[in-house]
Structure 1
Amino acid sequence: MDNTPPPGRLVFPMQRGPFQNNGASPWYCTLNLGTPGQMLKFAIDSGTNINWVTSTLCPDDQCVHFADGRFDVEASSTFSFTDCLRRPYSFGPWGTMQVETASDVLTTPAGARLDTQLFLAARYEGEQFKQLDWDGALGLPCSSAHVESRNSFVLQALMREGQLSPAYPFVAFDWNSHERNGTCEMGAVDPLKTQGPRLFLPWSVYTALPGIEYIWSTELKSYSVGTEQLASNIKFAIDSGSSRFKGDDTLMRQTLARIAQGGEPDVVLKFADGEITLGANLYNCLTEEGPQKGQVLPQFNALGLTDLVLVGSVVMEHCYTVYEYQVVKCSNTVYSLSPVGVWLFNRPDGPQIITQSSSRRFAPGERTVLNGRTTLPGVASQAVSVAGTWQNDYGSLMTLNVLDRQVCGTYQSSTGSTGHYAIRGFASGAGASRIKNQPLALAIEWHDLGEETSDPSWNWVSGLSGQLSTDDRGDVLTLSHLLVASSDFPDFANRGNYLDKLVYHRVAKQPLTTSFDPIESIPIKNALAGHWVALDKTTLSLIVEADSRHRFGVVRGYLTTSDTGTAVELTGFTDINAVTSKLAFQSVSLTVTNTQDETVSTLCGTLDFMGQTLNLLVLASSPVTPAQAYLATKISSLSFIRTISPVSFP
């Protein structure tokens, strides 16, 4: 693992104010605004798309708040109004403030001075504002597309000014509630804090209420209190500017009613790929200041957010939290940011609230910066997903689940051996549309997951690569299929590579299973593990794990090409029983995705034990228009030799 710090990182020291029962985070950082700098307390708020600060535009009896700081507009030589109108700005059911638009210099902890557009609070009132531990907030929306047009996006400005590298598009929060201090780190992630149980929450736009698409929302499969499931298939968001749970009115009231019955029930949030469990000792919090001072209260509040559960510090204080963006370079000075998702990691010294870890692993290190323009994920209309159940012309069934770009599932073959077989792979982009197909690459392990009678094909693998298309006739998967027979199967097939075209039609929009990846695997020693290099300098870095019954091998690692030098994640399968089966070849099927050009590839072939070479055929599929479908998949070959072995990854 590379622990070398990235070139340029910015740490915002943060403090915890007293917990107050107003739903706002108690966490803030102290920054200088204006010239000379005026020290003010700012929340770094992923639940808003604006920058704002309490100002001296407020009358003395207005804008009363616990932090008690105000920005003096007349004391700054660099201050200027950017508009002459006062207008209301709504925080929804939480409250409304009157604001004026202005510009001034914000000084970062590293001393960088950023020209920043923001709202000056000229009026607000209400108990929720009175209990604020901060004087203002810096917005951290999910995307630069959703920033309020009269405000700056601080993270984007830091990249534009060369203060942060766009190859490290991370914002990481690390809060220690016992010490009452922490950090918000931009442009870097501490790899030592990403080792334990993890939860990846891929961004999925919230559209139930127009105007708040900027929140970091994701799909929530189920919400339960105790043994009772209260909601399913709604949205969830992690909001660094909030404290307690809030959202859907009915759901929050049902939660409080269930807690009032006694028994201290757990609150369980189940996602497609992971789970959070909060005990009563975590959601019942002591109010340290304000009208309810001294009371221990359950932190749930109805807020009129239909089909949404949102929470902040009540969860984040027990996790290392990383917000990840995809950066798109528009020009030498313009970077756009779109959301990838939020990562949560259990703090080793705290309660282990992530009770089911995501199958996707966090890869420390730089990310690919895209060039040109891209479509904001999740927003494109009528995008079709590969998730669901598919049947080909032979009658074989394939069931696929999708999480972000990753695909997993099972295969039921109607030719050759019968049984259920594991699938892993990648899909590129947000889905297929009528103007562009979606590339797909899959690996299949032909070792039965059930109790079928074994045969030589259990040592074989397959790779599929092609595209999903959609039109008035329905959704179609058209895939090139490469079957790698690493041994003879008498009266059926001799050892070799077999190529076929398979066409699948959708038979169900939902997969037959709900969990993303049921395979449990453990690291093992295997001849495939290690570093491999091809003549064109393409490199593979692989580790091999065995499924829980040692039936087959799960492969993960990275592929790096010489032209880009960027490592991309791979996943797939291999036959870990080749040696015990007395074979000269070990079958391998790998899949990779390249976010820069949106291609996906399957690399399928064999490890030659005698020659110590890894020989793979590559089927690379690109997004194309339906009219150019015949150019979607390109075939090539690579031969690798070993350089270093073994290798390990986080």
Structure 2
Amino acid sequence: MTSKPLQNNLAFPMQRGPFQGNGASPWYCTLKLGTPAQSLKFSLDTGTNMSWVTSTLCPADQCKHFAGGRFDIQASSTFAFTDCLRRPYGFGPWGTMQVESACDVLILPNDARLDSQLFLAAAYEGDQFKQLDWDGGLGLPCSSAYVEGRSSFVLQALMREGQLDPTQPFVAFDWDASTRTGSCQMGAVDNAKTQGPHLFLPWSVYSELPGVEYIWSTELTSYSVGSEKLRTNIKFALDSGSSQFKGDNALMRETLARIAHSDQPDILLEFADGQITLGSELYNCLIEAGPEKGQVLPQFAPMGLADLVVVGSLIMEHCYTVYEYQVVKCSHEVYSLAPVGIWLFNRADGPQIITRSSSKPFMPGARAVLETKVTLPGPSIGATTVAGTWANDYGSVMTLEVSGRQVTGTYRSSTGSTGEYSIAGCLSGTAATRAKSQALALAIEWHDLGDAKKDPSWHWASGLSGQLSVTDKGDVLTLNHLLVATSDFPELARQGTYIDKLVYTRAEQQTPIRTSAESDPMSIENTLAGYWVAAGGTFLMLSVHSDSMKRFGIVQGFFRNQDVSAEVTGFTDINAQESNLSLQSVSLTIATDRDNTVRAVCGALDLMADTLSLLILASSPVAPAHAYLATQISSLHFTRLPVPSPATTG
């Protein structure tokens, strides 16, 4: 290979495409790929660990995107496949593409040629891709240790080929939204732009979801909307391939709800050593193309990434941003990169969003290249989890699955009415250890998912709250159980609320039944939906959907009291009224970050009085010696609030 050596750095000119509502950055760099060279638009993406490009492997009706470019593999004489297989590559909730592995020559802005491995997109579809302003992406993960196999890491390759000085391990983004032009500079920092208020975000691995350790994450001390602190001690990531805020489902939905019911509150990101304040004029953005063109919308989106806040151009357009690596040389011309952190500097001509500077100063100049091994954290392996199959002394069995802090599953009962039933729940934020348990809360809807004969218990619901403990004899679930019977079941139970203590141990793995409720909920009208308030200002906002067969209700919403606020999930009996019952069973679960507590909230809606009476089992992680203090019971009585009118919601 021939290359053109550089003096320490390489600048990639960047342009801003139209801002669209798909959460992807509008910024891209036009580079050339193949022989003869084909011009294509690439994101320089710190939110991915691989490089890819849309290709002519896509059928004519696939891979439609706003940028419109495709790499013609037949037209390049230097193109070669590196594998004969096609496989899916997932971008999490954002979407999935089918890819094949290949290599070709990437022509850099200085006309140097770099042999590169990359994925060829062979299929993708969906509005998120249709609104994409670029044809592909070049990944700039936090470390070479996390690079996806069969894909080049451009920064590492440039050092290896002698085109970048390894003592200058920087990637600096400078975007000017007013002129729609910018740059990504590799191998140097513009020291004139590192003056004034600044923020240093030391890298800290995000391991809640194995496989995404490559993101540039850091500790976020607190996240507030206006004066209300919604989360503490979670992770934050700055992603140049993103635009809007996204991440934790509950947090993003709660943010949107607060914005809708408040007077354009600020978003406050508090770090251990500094803070960012983002006003509504910055997070309310004009959509310039796509289905929502012309609308001004708040840029927050749930993405299923538990305890994580990700954002990109919404912040980076107002800061000079420097990603810093630690270079390790382990043999002749073999350089590995480990993460140090991200530096942000207010743009002198823009809004001053860094409202508290870090005490750690940015030191210009060369960085030492290490010649000793560096160990990076990986995914959590062997951590104790509630996922799996559990059996209790009655012989009842439940199979649980975990995604972040959300729990789903099925329950097979051996008492009363037998059958299989849906579970929803949540976990406290810390995994169980021998020193401290993990709290969990579960809701069960007692409507059989199979073909059993209907009986009165199909109207009932349960709430369970307690602890996952690690003991010498194995993992143990100890749950306090509230069973709400809203109707008599002759020869079994009369209407009322029953309490029990259930102890579960691990059992042979079983495959839960997949119900249509998990994938195809339908919006319905139900009396439980709406706004509810209890003494002391405790507030519930609830919506109700049903599974596709209208067997039971799926409840979502928000809970708030003087101390905490959180997302609500659970079940309700949507068939109570047509069955001439006066009570409609309700079982909800709530996880709150501020006090690291989970709540099983279980009771009934009085259909005649239009009041909601609930018992609350609140559990927090405890040491084994304090197990008797793990769960606290309380009660709340709610009355309905009128639906706020647009005039009062702001």
Scaled to the shorter chain, the TM-score interval is 0.5 to 0.7
Shift of 1:377: 6.4
Shift of 1:115: 0.7
1-structure distance, mates of 2:181, 2:263: 33
1:145-185 per-residue CA deviation (whole Å, 9 max, x = no partner) reads 00001101000000000000000000000000000000000
Q: Does 1:156 align with 2:186?
A: no
Q: Does 1:85 align with 2:85?
A: yes
Aligned to 1:20: 20
Question: What is the 5 A alignment of 1:120-269?
Answer: 120-269=120-269
Question: What is the 5 A alignment of 1:358-373?
Answer: 358-373=358-373
1-structure distance, mates of 2:19, 2:244: 10
2-structure distance, mates of 1:250, 1:228: 15
1-structure distance, mates of 2:227, 2:173: 32
Question: Aligned partner of 1:362: which letter?
Answer: F
Question: What is the 5 A alignment of 1:299-318?
Answer: 299-318=299-318
Question: Aligned partner of 2:224: which letter?
Answer: S
1:395-414 per-residue CA deviation (whole Å, 9 max, x = no partner) reads xxxxxxxxxxxxxxxxxxxx
3-state SS in 2 of match to 1:86: strand
Aligned to 1:607: none
Question: Are the aligned partners of 1:205 and 1:379 in contact in 2 as well (CA < 8 Å)?
Answer: no
Question: Aligned partner of 1:243: which letter?
Answer: S
Question: Aligned partner of 1:197: which letter?
Answer: P
1:370-423 per-residue CA deviation (whole Å, 9 max, x = no partner) reads 0132212688999xxxxxxxxxxxxxxxxxxxxxxxxxxxxxxxxxxxxxxxxx
Question: Aligned partner of 1:65: which letter?
Answer: H
3-state SS in 2 of match to 1:82: strand
Question: Are the aligned partners of 1:338 and 1:377 in contact in 2 as well (CA < 8 Å)?
Answer: no
Aligned to 1:389: none
3-state SS in 2 of match to 1:339: strand
Change (3 A) 1:381 1:127: closer
Question: Are the aligned partners of 2:242 and 2:313 in contact in 1 as well (CA < 8 Å)?
Answer: yes
Shift of 1:112: 1.3
1-structure distance, mates of 2:311, 2:184: 18
Question: Are the aligned partners of 2:210 and 2:379 in contact in 1 as well (CA < 8 Å)?
Answer: no
Change (3 A) 1:289 1:237: same
Question: Aligned partner of 1:272: which letter?
Answer: A
Aligned to 1:292: 292
1-structure distance, mates of 2:378, 2:241: 24
Question: Are the aligned partners of 1:205 and 1:213 in contact in 2 as well (CA < 8 Å)?
Answer: yes
Question: Are the aligned partners of 2:13 and 2:29 in contact in 1 as well (CA < 8 Å)?
Answer: yes
Q: Does 1:106 align with 2:98?
A: no
Question: Are the aligned partners of 2:325 and 2:341 in contact in 1 as well (CA < 8 Å)?
Answer: yes
Question: Are the aligned partners of 1:103 and 1:118 in contact in 2 as well (CA < 8 Å)?
Answer: yes
Shift of 1:61: 0.6
3-state SS in 1 of match to 2:116: strand
2-structure distance, mates of 1:376, 1:160: 21
Question: Aligned partner of 1:77: which letter?
Answer: S
2-structure distance, mates of 1:321, 1:108: 22
3-state SS in 2 of match to 1:93: coil
Question: What is the 5 A alignment of 1:425-436?
Answer: none
Question: Are the aligned partners of 2:213 and 2:379 in contact in 1 as well (CA < 8 Å)?
Answer: no
Question: What is the 5 A alignment of 1:594-633?
Answer: none
Question: Aligned partner of 1:276: which letter?
Answer: I
Question: Are the aligned partners of 2:207 and 2:378 in contact in 1 as well (CA < 8 Å)?
Answer: no
Shift of 1:262: 2.9
2-structure distance, mates of 1:93, 1:327: 33
Aligned to 2:328: 328
Question: Are the aligned partners of 1:204 and 1:378 in contact in 2 as well (CA < 8 Å)?
Answer: no
Aligned to 1:76: 76
Aligned to 1:416: none
Question: What is the 5 A alignment of 1:465-480?
Answer: none
Aligned to 2:30: 30
Question: Are the aligned partners of 2:99 and 2:121 in contact in 1 as well (CA < 8 Å)?
Answer: yes
Change (3 A) 1:377 1:208: closer
3-state SS in 2 of match to 1:330: strand
1:23-55 per-residue CA deviation (whole Å, 9 max, x = no partner) reads 000000000000111000000000000100000
1:579-620 per-residue CA deviation (whole Å, 9 max, x = no partner) reads xxxxxxxxxxxxxxxxxxxxxxxxxxxxxxxxxxxxxxxxxx
1:78-121 per-residue CA deviation (whole Å, 9 max, x = no partner) reads 00000000100000000000000000000110111111000000
Q: Does 1:9 align with 2:3?
A: no
Tell me how large the CA RMSD over aligned residues is: 1.4
Question: What is the 5 A alignment of 1:485-504?
Answer: none
Question: Are the aligned partners of 2:210 and 2:380 in contact in 1 as well (CA < 8 Å)?
Answer: no
1-structure distance, mates of 2:379, 2:291: 42
How many residues end up aligned between the 2 structures?
377
Question: Are the aligned partners of 1:265 and 1:280 in contact in 2 as well (CA < 8 Å)?
Answer: yes
2-structure distance, mates of 1:192, 1:379: 39
Change (3 A) 1:379 1:212: closer
Question: Are the aligned partners of 1:50 and 1:152 in contact in 2 as well (CA < 8 Å)?
Answer: yes
Question: Aligned partner of 1:134: which letter?
Answer: W
Question: Are the aligned partners of 1:25 and 1:241 in contact in 2 as well (CA < 8 Å)?
Answer: yes
3-state SS in 1 of match to 2:157: helix
3-state SS in 2 of match to 1:84: strand
Question: Aligned partner of 2:225: which letter?
Answer: V
Question: Aligned partner of 2:305: which letter?
Answer: L
3-state SS in 1 of match to 2:83: coil
1-structure distance, mates of 2:210, 2:351: 36
Change (3 A) 1:205 1:107: same
Question: Aligned partner of 2:61: which letter?
Answer: D
1:312-364 per-residue CA deviation (whole Å, 9 max, x = no partner) reads 00000000000000000011221000000000000000000000000000001
Question: What is the 5 A alignment of 1:327-476?
Answer: 327-376=327-376
2-structure distance, mates of 1:235, 1:110: 37
3-state SS in 2 of match to 1:85: strand
Shift of 1:7: 3.6
Question: Are the aligned partners of 1:69 and 1:135 in contact in 2 as well (CA < 8 Å)?
Answer: yes
Change (3 A) 1:72 1:192: same
1:206-264 per-residue CA deviation (whole Å, 9 max, x = no partner) reads 00001100000000000000000000000000000000000000000000000001311
Question: Aligned partner of 1:84: which letter?
Answer: C
Aligned to 1:559: none
Question: Are the aligned partners of 1:64 and 1:125 in contact in 2 as well (CA < 8 Å)?
Answer: yes
Q: Does 1:319 align with 2:308?
A: no
Identity of aligned residues (%): 74
Aligned to 1:281: 281
Question: Aligned partner of 1:283: which letter?
Answer: Y
Q: TM (normalized to structure 2)?
A: 0.57
The answer for unaligned runs of 5 or more in structure 2 is 1-5, 383-650
3-state SS in 2 of match to 1:192: helix
